Amino acid sequence: MYRDEIEGSIAEDLPSPPPKHLNLDGVQAVEDGTGPLFHRRYRARIRESDVGPDELVALVAEDPDRVAPSEFATFRRVDGEEGPMRVGDDYLVRMAGPWDGPVRVSTRRPDSFRLLTLEGHLEAGQIEFRACRDGDRLVFEIESWARSKDRLTDLLYDRLRMSKEVQLHMWTSTLEGIVGLSGGKLERGLEIHTRTVAEAGLDE
């Protein structure tokens, strides 16, 4: 596992706004949060995959539970029709402890899907799952843009680093599940890059 953390900037690290046609009722956007913004990217390079980028993303989107670490989290659709993941569907990510988090699908493309946090989530922001080709390798990334929803959550996440490490383990375990789902092999370990934007800059 390779990790680094550097200072970010508002110009480079804010997420793109959600689609205008999306129902934004109950959404917790980055500007609704507290504390610094953490822009994180978790990446796995996969060799000898049995599937391509679009097929792998479709498999994950069809049932996120198949790659979620069961000891940490389960995904359950709570609003939306049965079948493939669609824009506007709401899911509840049920986690051990006080970490449950409702999310809404904001985009669904062949090679990616993005989720927005909703009221009741410990974070305010977005997270995207995507895959692409890099030569003969398949690359899968989970990218998040998030602040804590309130001061207590910020204390647990940024100061005490408690929920930050739980989150790190959850998403790295999810990536390992995705590698297994692809039928391929992880190359060179997982990469975790973090860019942090200070709260002072966000509130200006």
Task: Say how far apart CA 168 and CA 125 lie, in whole Å.
Answer: 16
Query: Which helix (H) or strand (E) element contains residue 151?
Result: helix 151-154
Who has greater pLDDT, 185 or 168?
185
Percent pLDDT > 90 in the chain is 59
DSSP-assigned states of every residue in 44-56: EEEES-SS-HHHH
Task: Say how far apart CA 126 and CA 117 lie, in whole Å.
Answer: 6
At residue 126, does pLDDT exceed 90? yes
Task: Say how far apart CA 124 and CA 28 lie, in whole Å.
Answer: 5
At residue 47, does pLDDT exceed 80? yes
| Residue showing tokens 């843009």 | 145
- Using pLDDT thresholds of 50, 70 and 90, give the confidence band for residue 200: low
Q: Does domain 2-8+29-88+106-202 have CATH number 3.30.530?
A: yes
First-to-last alpha carbon distance for the chain, in angstroms, is 35
Task: Give Cα 203 distance to the centre of its chain.
Answer: 24
At residue 56, does pLDDT exceed 60? yes
At residue 78, does pLDDT exceed 60? yes
